[in-house]
A and B are shown apart, each in its own frame.
Chain A
Amino acid sequence: MATGTNAVHADIEALKGFHEALVRFRYAQRGVAERGGDEIAMTRASLAAKASRWQARLEQCQAELDACRAADGEEAADCSAQVRAVEQAGERLEHVRRWQQRVDAGAGEFGGAAGAYLDLLEVDLPRAESRLLAIITSLEAARRVPAGET
């Protein structure tokens, strides 16, 4: 009955191929994780820029409404267009802010999963690669032992 390293019945080249695939996967998934982080950062920046733009627009519309209401004239000025503009800018600003909160919540929730996965890539996966290398080394050593000496 085969024991120890001889108990491993495997094609060494296939094992080496799988080891290389594991290493490639680790690097590729690091890139995936980085790109995921980049996407979050880009979306946050984009939403912040939109919020800033609508905040400025709201202030401008409010100033125009104030100017309309303060205008001198024999009849009361019709400021309904300015009122609508203020309402619309305010609604859009709030809409963007709600999406900012939703993205922050999603990114926060995802952060835990992402951290755990990075640990897997940095710790567990190299351990698996080392284990596989040790198996390959043992198998190669066993193959070098002439028949009858085991």
Chain B
Amino acid sequence: MTARPDRDGGEQLGLLGAAWEDVAQHWQDEVAHRFETDHWTPLAQRSRAYLAALGALLDVLETAERETEF
């Protein structure tokens, strides 16, 4: 059975977050801080928001299918 895309996306975001945590241990200067502020934080926040919206919509789609089975 294929997992829902929002869950797959969340898993991928988790992996990327772990990769960021790993690199952040080695990279703690001003350039790193700027990269985090300009790129990483917006990417992580917007990805989470998108996946939450996708998850909510997929819940509606599943309910629609279920509720219209007569």
Contact = CB atoms under 8 A, between A and B. Distances in A.
Mutual binders A and B: yes
A43 interface: yes
Interface residues of A, number: 47
B43 A14 contact: no
A84 interface: no
A113 B43 CA distance: 14
Interface residues of B, number: 43
Given A9-B27, A10-B27, A117-B46, A95 B67 contact: yes
Interface string A55-97: 0000000000000000000000000000000000000100110
B43 A120 contact: yes
- In the A-B complex, list the 6 residue pairs whose CB atoms are closest, starting with the nearest: A11-B26, A10-B27, A21-B19, A128-B39, A35-B5, A32-B9
